[in-house]
Amino acid sequence: MDASVQDVMTARLFFRAAFPVMKVPLNDDPKMKKLFENLTGKVQFCANNGAEKIGCYLTFDNGEFTVTEGFCEHPEITMQFSSVAKMNTMLTGGVALPKIRGFRNFRLLLNFFKLMMSLKLMMPTANPKDPQKRYLKVKMSLYMVTTALSVFNKLGDSRMKEWTSKQPDRIYQFTVEPYDGENGIAAYLRVKAGKTKAGRGVYKRRRPFVHFRFNTVDGAIKVLQKEVEFVEAVEKNCVSIDGSPEYASQLNDMMAVLQGMMT
């Protein structure tokens, strides 16, 4: 049976927005970085969708990492789900087991599972105590949500298309204070006449139309985990907003839709 449009869109959001942020722990977590520094191979992730399949593959090459939507020839490991819904169940934190091929590549398989577990840091229920993991949670979450917003638009969601179509060239910037460049946390969404592009760091060629400034990593976590509602977060200085409060609220609503789909 074919998956619903919503299920396919959710899966593609994971392929194109969530999986790529695995690069953050691969770069910033010394233990994770060491696991993959001398490892090569491809991992195919896929699900049946009626007579067809949807999927993506992850390429590991001595510390380098890419995610490509689609299928590759001769992957070292294949993780195949019987349906898109079951794959989404696992990706959103539920229990659903894939059929796995490639147990002979046990080291790659084991390390891949460890890397997959890092995605759970972005779950609203994840509240790590370790400062490094809290940093990773916020960085991964902001990278993911800005990318997901852009992908949501490119996949044709009518709400997102309507919201972006009426806007000129605008930057929606997210920054965690204190921001110190290379070691800081920042991401942005660029919107221009119906088109969108997500980026890392601070956009420097245009002043932000809306700038979300989180006071600290801890303040960002309170907002990301919905410990405080958006208005309350502003009142408590967990986040300050420079620019249009109306459009900031609208963007927050879009982020809530995505969170509902991906958690």
Alpha carbons within 13 angstroms on the beta-carbon side of residue 76 total 17
- Residue 242: pLDDT band (50, 70, 90) is very high
Q: Residue 13: which CATH number?
A: 3.30.1050.10
Q: Say if residue 98 is in the same domain as residue 64.
A: yes
Q: What does each C-alpha distance from 225 to 125, 174, 218 come to in angstroms?
A: 7, 16, 11
State residue 1's pLDDT score.
72
Mean pLDDT of all residues in 88-115: 95
Angle in degrees, CA 45, 80, 99, rounded to 5: 130
d(CA 129, CA 70): 37
Q: Which residue has the tokens 């006071």?
A: 215
Phi, psi of 240 (to 5 degrees): -115, 155
pLDDT digits (tens, 9 = 90+) for 189-230: 999 999 999 999 999 999 999 999 999 999 999 998 888 888
pLDDT over 90 at 73, yes or no: yes
State residue 185's pLDDT score.
98
Cβ atoms of residues 109 and 78 within 8 Å:
no
d(CA 39, CA 76): 12
Q: Say if residue 107 is in the same domain as residue 228.
A: no
| pTM summary value | 0.95
Give domain status of residue 126, yes or no.
no
Residue ranges making up the domain that contains 44: 5-121
Domain count, the chain: 2
Angle in degrees, CA 163, 166, 170, rounded to 5: 85
